[in-house]
Amino acid sequence: MPPLIRLMRPHQWLKNGFVFVGLLFGHAWNDPEKVTQALAAFAAFCLLASGIYVINDLIDREQDRVHPKKKSRPLAAGTVSVHAALFLAASCFIGGSAVALLWAGSAPWIFAAYVIMNIGYSFGLKHVVILDVFIIAAGFMLRILAGTLGIGIAPSHWLLLCGLMLTLFLGFAKRRAELNALLAESAGHRRVLEHYTEGMLDQFITIAAAGTVISYALYTVSAETVALHGTRGLIATVPFVLYGMLRYLWRLHRAGGGGDPARELLTDPHLWAATAGWLLLVLALLGGSIIPRP
């Protein structure tokens, strides 16, 4: 891709799919207004996130040059100038803010909080051990809120809990992958890695992974869920979640992956199949085409 497009990291836009969780589990996919607002929220997050990626790459370009993969990023490699990167970041922030204010629902504060939090992350909070991963997770939670609360859908407490645990799992797996890739030079790339150890991160990952599976399984069988969706069949989607997480852990420990969830999903056929299978089964169950509504 052209360097300026690469700098925006379009493959990371896949993460903004969390915005559509509300449409799926809130049975709002037939509401044109809510669908339009969710699509606008997705577009706003894509632009705002790209602006933040540019700022982050500007700040980290020296550290990225010692990373085996990140050294090929446009700013680290010198294929994009600082002035061009600043203009691109400003364009992304202006465009994303306009979409968020005009079309993305009734809670623009969510997008403002996302930008402020991530700028704080880029300028220093990423060096605070454990808090760095919680900020990453909070970014995903704001996406879920933009696609639920922001467009008039009441968010499920179970799904919010599950989303938090899943994103903590992905965040700690990212740190573990960075530690694996950089070994003795890890602190030279990201200072916070000085405070993590392999054993510590493995414990954090285990806790978050177990919390994700348990909270999602409990969500599928809760009385509130059965009453809302009219089916007890969502428990059948749990094996897809469990398989996907175990496959991700395998890639983290045996295949040198885990550092970029979006890229892992796009390049690993097992993760892609698990995600597609989960989504198709959820759609079928919520539509009542497999297990009839009581």
Give per-residue pLDDT as tens, 53-109: 999 888 888 877 877 777 888 888 888 888 999 999 999 999 999 999 999 988 899
- Within 123-197, residue ranges assigned H as helices are 131-146, 157-182, 186-189
Question: Does 104 lie in the same domain as 53?
Answer: yes
Burial of 154 (0-12, 13-18, 19+ CB in 10 A): exposed
Residue that is last in its domain, among 103, 137, 155: 155
Q: Domain range spanning residue 226?
A: 156-294
**Cα distance between residue 165 and residue 81, in whole Å:** 38
Say which residue, 165 or 126, is predicted with more confidence: 165
The average pLDDT across 212-236 equals 90
Instruction: State yes or no: pLDDT of 225 exceeds 90.
Output: no
Question: Could you tell me where the beta strands, DSSP code E, fall in the chain?
Answer: none
Q: Are 50 and 9 a contacting pair, CB within 8 Å? A: yes
Cα–Cα distance, 75 to 184 (Å, whole number): 24
pLDDT tens digits, 243-266: 999 999 999 988 777 778 888 888
101, 130, 155 — which closes off a domain?
Answer: 155
CATH assignment at residue 125? 1.10.357.140
What pLDDT is recorded for position 188?
53
How many domains does one find in the chain?
Answer: 2
Mean pLDDT of the region 276-292: 79
Give yes or no: residues 126 and 203 share one domain. no
pLDDT, tens digit, for every residue of 107-152? 899 999 999 999 999 888 888 999 999 999 999 999 999 999 999 9
Kindly state the percentage of the chain with pLDDT values over 70.
94
Q: What is the mean pLDDT of residues 215-235?
A: 89
- pLDDT score of 46 more than 60: yes
pLDDT band at 3 (very low <50, low <70, confident <90, very high): confident
**DSSP structure class, residue 16:** G
Residues 178 and 97 in one domain: no
Same domain membership, residue 162 and residue 144: no
Are 190 and 269 contained in the same domain?
yes
* Domain's final residue, options 134, 155, 176: 155
Q: How far is CA 149 from CA 19, 104, 177, in A?
A: 11, 11, 33
pLDDT tens, residue by residue, 180-212: 777 645 445 567 788 888 899 999 999 999 999
Q: What is the mean pLDDT of the chain?
A: 88
The whole-number pLDDT of residue 42 equals: 96
Residue 198: Cβ within 10 Å count: 10
pTM over 0.85: yes
pLDDT of 289 over the 60 cut: no
Both 230 and 116 in a single domain?
Answer: no
